[in-house]
Amino acid sequence: MLARAESNRNVVVGIDYSGGMAWDTEGTRRRLKEAATAEFAEHGPDGTTMARIAERAGINKERLYKYFGDKQALFQTVLRDELDKLAAGVDPPAGGYENFGELAGRTFDYHAAHPELVRLLQWEGLAGGPPADGINRTAHYRKKVEAVAAAQRAGALDDEMDPAHLVFMMIALAAWWISVPQLAQMLTGADDRDADEHARRRAFVVRAAERLALPRT
């Protein structure tokens, strides 16, 4: 038997088992996080409220607080989850970091398909303060730096370049098109929704990353 309860125009759905209410906890959490991701990407953590996020999800505000705590904790959860999706969604190419250009291209692909991530990162940077999940994120990025350094020692990448700077520049090449789409359009005269322009941008990211990282001949 399907049961519904309304509060402040927000609807929560539960399933009645043997006279008791069993909430769809995972589905509720997912809808709340999806709504929070959209709100935070569009307005930043300071530009929205828990009430707006709950209303967007169609779930009462009390349940949002129960699952995620306050707004800052929710923002950190959203950003951490989106970064986990990035890590899982960019498959290393054959050759790993030795194929630095294609790795940059795949990173570009992910950001183009998920523009909300760069917006969340920009809001985090504008807010100042310690980054969300900073210890784990730092460890994750340091692994990338060590992988580049190993490729440099093997002679696959230019060892005159600082490996941390190379990783930063690869991310910047891949993500900056999505971070400032208005600047990209003014410079190129084209929109990324144009398939040919999108392909040109990806090809540029790959070639530029190769030129930055490959050994000079």
User: Over the stretch 28-54, which tens digit does the pLDDT of each residue have?
Assistant: 999 999 999 999 999 999 999 999 999
Q: pTM of the predicted model, to two decimals?
A: 0.85
- C-alpha of 84 from chain center: 8
| CATH class of this structure's domain 75-213 | mainly alpha
User: Over the stretch 85-127, which tens digit does the pLDDT of each residue have?
Assistant: 999 999 889 988 899 999 999 999 999 999 999 999 999 999 9
Q: Can you give the pLDDT at residue 96?
A: 87
The residue ranges of every structural domain in the chain are: 2-69, 75-213
Give CATH for domain 2-69: 1.10.10.60
Complete DSSP assignment for the chain? -EEEEEETTEEEEEEEETTEEEE-HHHHHHHHHHHHHHHHHHH-GGG--HHHHHHHHTS-HHHHHHHH-SHHHHHHHHHHHHHHHHHHHSPPPTTGGGSHHHHHHHHHHHHHH-THHHHHHHHHHHH-SSPTTHHHHHHHHHHHHHHHHHHHHTTSS-TTS-HHHHHHHHHHHHHHHHH-HHHHHHHHSS-TTSHHHHHHHHHHHHHHHHHHHSPP-
- Answer for the pair 141, 159: CB distance below 8 angstroms, yes or no: no
Q: Can you give the pLDDT at residue 23?
A: 61
Q: 17 pLDDT exceeds 50?
A: no
User: Over the stretch 119-155, which tens digit does the pLDDT of each residue have?
Assistant: 999 999 999 889 999 999 999 999 999 999 999 999 9
C-beta atoms surrounding 124 within 10 Å: 19
- Answer for the pair 16, 24: CB distance below 8 angstroms, yes or no: no
Q: Can you give the pLDDT at residue 157?
A: 96
